[in-house]
Amino acid sequence: MGSHEQSHDHDHHIIGYGTHLVIYFGLLLLTGLTVAVARVNLGELNLWVAMLVATFKAALVILYFMHMKYEHKLIQFLFVIALLALFLPYGAVFIDYLHR
Amino acid sequence: MGAGAKAFYHDDAVVFAGMFQAVKKAGKNSSVFRAIAWVLSWILSTDHKRVGILYFVAMFSFFSVAVSLGIMMRLELFQSGQQFFEPKTYNAMFTLHGVIMTFLFIVPGIPAIFGNFLLPLQLGAADVSMPRLNLASWYMYIIGAIMAVVSLFSNGGAPDGGWTFYAPYSIQTQTNVSLALVAAFTLGLSSIFTGMNFLTTIHRLKAPGMGWFDMPLFVWSLYATAWIQVLATPVVGITLLLTVMERTLQIGIFNPSLGGDPVLYQHMFWIYSHPVVYVMILPAMGVISDVLPVFARRHIFGYKAIAYSTMAIAGSGYFVWAHHMFTSGISDVARLVFSFITFLVAIPTAIKIFNWLATLYRGSIQIDPPMLWALTFLFTFSIGGLTGLALGAVVTDIHLHDTYYVVGHFHYVMFGGGGVGMFAALHHWFPKITGRMYNFFHAKVSWFFFFVGFNMLYFPMLILGVMGMPRRYHDYLPQYDFLNSVATIGSWIMVFGILYMFANLLKGLLSGEKAGSNPWNAKTMEWETQSPPVLHNFEKQPKMVHGPYDYEGEWVK
Amino acid sequence: MSSHAASHPQDAHSDNPHADYIGDKVGFWFFLYTELVLFGGLFLGYFFYHMKYKEAFHEAGSHLNVFMGAGNTVVLLTSSLTMVMSLTALQKRKKGLSLLYLGMTILFALAFMVVKYFEWGAKFSYGLYPGSEILQSSHSDGVIIFYGLYFVMTGTHGVHVVLGLLALSWMFVWVWQGKIHADDYAYLENVGLYWHLVDLIWIYLFPLLYLVA
């Protein structure tokens, strides 16, 4: 693992204005969607749908606005570790709460 | 550091260089300005070695305060009945002892002192990745420490209720808990800065030819520790801030009278604070992995197993926190699951212990002071670890929770592990840091006093706990008299040993023999440069030509 | 092999401040992880109490102004767009355009705070704030907790917006002065990453607080 990290052929990938605009309109669309869906009463499902849409938006922001898609492998790898460390312990709290 | 260190360290790597140069110039004719320039050359320096020594001075100052508090608590507990202190004073004393020892001493601990000093040296780098952030972390530490000290003497009185600040007591007490919480938050920031720096350094600044499995195991332990610092500390940060907001704004989240749930506080507190237990112990394990091979003249047994188990301990540490909460009313399913995962942690820990023992097997063991401390670690930490098993099992924990057994257990782990590991590191790297050697005979005698006193102090606590003596009271029933007296006498012997040890090291610093670049004939990279190392560490970029534990000449690249 | 980069990490005196581009970004990402975990703690609290007080959260959330919340979402998304546009412009060596976009980002950030000010003001005028007599005497536990979380979460987010504003203004000056340019833009990129993170947090806060009613 050590050597390929330092052999940095980082190409300083530049994303064009056009891509940014496409992503931006996608984000606006999803915002509209989440507001619209919230007006329909789905009961329990409302929370999950809202979270799903938000996660789509978050993915767009991370992958394109935050460059993650074009990023150095090391940064991508560390990001996955951080997400796991974020969600697994927080999820484990509910082992307690759901069985009280 | 005293006058002895003055001559060695360069003054070049300072921030605000213009200001420093002006003072230095003024210092040509005035001894006052010369003194100021000397102080500035330390507290403005981004040199990782100086930052490490700054941490050393600050941390051991607070350590001595907390030790004094501990001695006073033991005096109070010498016999049943009130001896010297009111119950309220005693409550403040154990809280302060805990806060200082945890947040100001053992959490920054080995990484802040020896990690800062050694990490770039062991990697063959000129400095850490972000030297200015590194200096900033020391300032955050000092700011946090000052706030903690101020919270003692300002309005409301010294914080009470223990270092864990459990809600709802911590949101009701009139003492100055808010400031102590903000102090702990600031110290957390300092710890995060150190962690970010170490992770980036290890990923980016390994010497040419050094792969992941060519790094010294101390570096591996710092790597695992840094992950915990970065990913766990913010949880306690937000928890402490929520508690402050609870006290000032009544947001209700931890306050049962407004619909909040205090058990959520315990969850959030321990999600961080259990992993941070491994911040305290993992670097000590790294020290032991580096010291044993040197004085056994053998390569480390099971290098990869130790490296992986280090990461495994850090990873599994995130999933065991609820074993601190078995008696807090969490669900039975949670108790079962967390008890089970807790036992899993014993596996990587045992892997390490057995690998260390296998390293010693058939080695040519040289009992020099660092080795003596490392072997002490194996002994005391094993007692600490094994007594922990009884606390990981729900059934026995119900009996032992909040008794002196717990106090004895975590002192064996924290002090017998983290503390003893730090003393081992101190004796091992002392010649590298100061360029001089201490007296071996006195080092061993001071060790003897420490070892006897340590066990006299903490082993009776284990027995007292099983007998049912609760922790955190300033008084107890007469049937516990004898063992408490033994423990108190043990505390005197142990503190004498610590003072003796530091006196010996100080004498070594001031008038010890020149140590040379590699007095132990060790193989890791920090011994390849002079003692103490120059600014930016190496005259020219070192290359990896043999392994970190290549004592038997079998390293092949 | 980047041996020269490895042997001279940037320090106060390094003549090559751009020694380790990847290292700069890796280091900053570690900082972003700590921010994620910090907010994660708040989200944990939200989900924990959402399960406990489902009805009350429903009721309390319906008092929030969806129009203002959605408007602020659009404002933040747009500011994220201008932020990346600014970086792209700088990379394409168009300094003026880059400054224009950066300035727009700063304006949108200010707009966000202004809307937030009116929102908070309205809540205060109804007595819906932590520690208020009205909230504690005439509402259920769940509503008290909801508003506790609402103010803590939007407040913490707001603090990050303000810090982002300061950082953006600082970057504006540096781009203006030419300290940040097409060959050395790690600072601008990192501040951009921070700004997107602020956006990211809001993407979750908006539905949780305003819509799940």
C6 in contact with chain A, both atoms CB, cutoff 8 A: yes
Taking CB atoms and an 8 Å cutoff, what residues of chain A touch C80? Answer: 24, 61, 65
Check residue B401 and give left, alpha or beta (phi > 0: left; psi -120 to 50: alpha). beta
- C60 CA: distance to closest CA in chain A (Å): 15
Which of A33-37, B187-191, C128-132, C140-144 comes out lowest in average pLDDT?
A: C128-132
B543 domain residue, yes or no: no
- Closest chain C residue to the Cα of B271, Cα to Cα: C41
Residue of B nearest to A92 (CA): B319
What are the residue ranges in chain A where pLDDT is below 70?
1-12
- Same domain? B331 vs B441: yes
Contact yes or no for B234 and C38 at CB 8 A: yes
Asked whether C164 and C193 are in contact (CB, 8 A), the reply is no
Cβ of C151 within 8 Å of Cβ of B238? The answer is: no
- Chains near B with 3+ CB pairs less than 8 A apart are A, C
Give the C-alpha separation, B194 to B226, whole Å.
7
* pLDDT confidence of residue B7: 38
- B293 and B180 in a common domain: yes
pLDDT digits (tens, 9 = 90+) for B464-514: 999 999 998 989 999 999 999 999 999 999 999 999 999 999 999 999 999
Task: Give the contacts of B354 (CB within 8 A, at least 6 positions apart).
Answer: none
Specify the residue for token string 């800062």.
B116
What mean pLDDT comes out for the span B129-138? 93
User: Is pLDDT above 60 for B266?
Assistant: yes
Nearby residues of C204 by Cβ (< 8 Å), 6 or more positions away: A51, A54, A58, C43
Peptide bond into B532 cis (omega under 30): yes
The sign of the dihedral angle between the CA atoms of B540, B546, B548, B551 is negative
pLDDT above 90 (res B5):
no
Q: What is the pLDDT of residues B7-52, one digit of tens each?
A: 345 556 788 888 888 888 887 888 888 888 888 888 998 899 999 9
Q: Is there a domain that residue B549 lies in? A: no
Q: What is the pLDDT of residue C208?
A: 92
Q: Does C160 have pLDDT greater than 70?
A: yes
Distance separating alpha carbons of residues C69 and B100, to the nearest angstrom: 44
d(CA B285, CA B122): 16
Q: What percent of chain B has pLDDT over 70?
A: 97
For chain C, count helices (H), then strands (E): 8, 0
Query: Computed over its alpha carbons, how large is the radius of gyration of chain B?
Result: 23
Residue B1 and residue B77 in one domain: no
> Which of B214, B227, B271 is nearest residue A89 as measured by Cβ atoms?
B271
Give the whole-angstrom CA distance, residue B553 versus residue C8: 31
Share of chain B above pLDDT 90, in %: 67
Question: Of the ranges B45-54, B224-233, B411-420, C11-20, which one carries the lowest mean pLDDT score?
Answer: C11-20
Q: What is the pLDDT of residues B61-97, one digit of tens each?
A: 999 999 999 999 999 999 998 889 999 889 888 988 9
Q: Which residues pair with A81 in a beta bridge?
A: none
- B461-482 in b/e form (b: 16+ CB < 10 A) is bbbbbbeebebeebebeeebee
Average pLDDT over residues B411-423: 95
Q: Do both B281 and B147 map to the same domain?
A: yes
Q: Do C34 and B245 touch (CB under 8 A)?
A: no
B 199-238: CB under 8 A from C = 199-201, 203-208, 230-235, 237-238
The reply to whether B250 and B276 lie within a common domain is yes
Average pLDDT score over residue span C59-80: 92
Q: How confident is the model at residue B300 (pLDDT cuts 50, 70, 90)?
A: very high
| CA separation for the pair C151, C123 (Å, rounded) | 10
The pLDDT value given to residue B9: 53
Three-state secondary-structure class, residue C184: strand
Q: What phi-psi label fits residue B532: left (phi over 0), alpha (psi between -120 and 50 degrees) or beta?
A: beta
- Quick check: A96 and B211 CB within 8 A? no
CB atoms under 10 Å from CB of B123, counted, come to 24
* Percentage of chain C lying above the pLDDT 70 cut: 91
B239: alpha, beta or left? (left if phi > 0; alpha if psi -120 to 50) = alpha
Query: Residue A3: its chain B contacts at CB < 8 A?
Result: 211
Nearest to C2 among A6, A17, A61 (CB): A6
ipTM: 0.88
Instruction: State which residues form the domain around B21.
Output: 1-45
- Binary contact (C149, B258; C-beta < 8 A): no
Record: contact B231-C11, CB cut-off 8 A: no
d(CA C64, CA C42): 19
d(CA B214, CA B206): 10
Select from C34, C36, C54, C134 the residue whose CB has the most chain B CBs within 10 Å, as the one to mutate to test that interface: C34
* B35 and B56 share one domain: no
Answer whether residue B225 shows pLDDT above 50: yes
Mean confidence (pLDDT) of chain B: 90
Q: What is the pLDDT of residue C9?
A: 38
In chain C, residues with a C-beta closer than 8 Å to the C-beta of B128 are 9
- In this model, does residue B538 exceed pLDDT 90? no
Q: Which residue has the higher pLDDT, B123 or B20?
A: B123
pLDDT of residue C17: 40
- The kind and range of the H/E element at B281 are helix B262-296
Judged by CB atoms closer than 8 Å, whether chains meet at B208 and C6 is answered as yes
**How close does chain A come to C207, measured CA to CA in Å?**
6
Residue whose entry in the numeric block shows the structure tokens 């799940």: C212
Cβ-based contacts under 8 A for chains B and C? 143
CB neighbours of residue B358 within 10 Å: 15
State the nearest Cα–Cα gap between C97 and chain B, in angstroms: 31
Closest CA to A34 of B426, C118, C73: C73
Dist CA C67 CA C206 (whole Å)? 11
C212 contacts chain A (CB < 8 A): yes
Q: Is the pLDDT of residue B143 over 80?
A: yes
Across the interface, which of C36, C88, C200 has its CB nearest the CB of A82? C36
**Domain contains B542:** no
Residue B198 maps to a domain:
yes
pLDDT score of C31 = 94
Task: Tell me the DSSP string of C56-73.
Answer: HHHHHHTTS-HHHHHHHH
Cβ(C14)–Cβ(C8) below 8 Å: yes
Task: Give the closest residue to B339 by CA, choosing from B378, B288, B302, B392.
Answer: B392
pLDDT of B359 over the 50 cut: yes
CA distances for B457 relative to B178, B462, C130, angstroms: 33, 10, 48
Q: Do both B39 and B50 map to the same domain?
A: no
- Can you tell me the distance from the alpha carbon of C161 to that of C147, in angstroms, rounded to the nearest whole number? 20
Distance CA B514, CA B404 (A): 46
B377 and B285 assigned to the same domain: yes
Is the backbone peptide bond immediately before B548 cis, with ω within 30 degrees of 0? no
B161 plus B232 within the same structural domain: yes
Q: Determine if residue B83 is left, alpha or beta; phi over 0 gives left, psi from -120 to 50 gives alpha, anything else beta.
A: alpha
Query: Considering only alpha carbons, which residue of chain C is nearest residue B253?
Result: C145
* Co-location of B38 and B185 in the same domain: no
d(CA C20, CA C2): 9
pLDDT at C12 over 70: no
Domains of chain C (ranges, CATH numbers): 34-211 (1.20.120.80)
B10, B27, B45 — which closes off a domain?
Answer: B45
What's the whole-number mean pLDDT along residues C127-146?
Answer: 85
Of A16, A72, A82, the CB nearest to C22: A72
Cα B364 from Cα B299, distance rounded (Å): 12
Q: Look at residue B12 in the predicted model and tell me its pLDDT.
A: 63
Overall number of domains in chain B: 2
Verify whether the Cβ–Cβ distance C21 to A10 is below 8 Å.
Answer: yes
* Same structural domain, B263 and B410: yes
Is B13 inside any structural domain? yes
Residue closest to B199 by CA, chosen among B231, B226, B234: B226
Task: Classify residue B250: in a domain, yes or no.
Answer: yes
CATH number of the domain encompassing residue B110: 1.20.210.10
Best interface-test mutation with A: which of C81, C87, C191, C205 has the largest number of A CBs within 10 A?
A: C81
Mean pLDDT, chain C, whole residue set:
87
DSSP code of residue A16: P
* Gap between the Cα atoms of B325 and A100, Å rounded: 14
Tell me the CA end-to-end span of chain A in Å, nearest whole number.
Answer: 45
Q: Does B127 touch chain C (CB under 8 A)?
A: yes
Contacts with A, C 114-173, CB within 8 Å: none
Q: Return the bridge partners of B403, or none.
A: B470
| B211 with A1: Cβ contact below 8 A | yes
The reported pLDDT for the residue numbered C184 is: 86
Residue B4: the pLDDT is 33
Provide the 8-state DSSP code for B163. T
pLDDT tens track for B148-192 = 888 887 777 788 878 888 888 888 888 888 898 999 999 999 999
Is residue B432 within 8 Å of residue B526, measured between CB atoms? yes
> Residue B350 contacts by C-beta under 8 Å, 6 or more apart in sequence?
none
**A and C: number of Cβ contacts within 8 A:** 119
- The B residues from 184 to 203 touching C (CB cutoff 8 Å) are 192, 195-197, 199-201, 203
Name the band, by pLDDT with cuts 50, 70 and 90, for residue C15: very low
State whether B500 and B352 are in the same domain.
Answer: yes
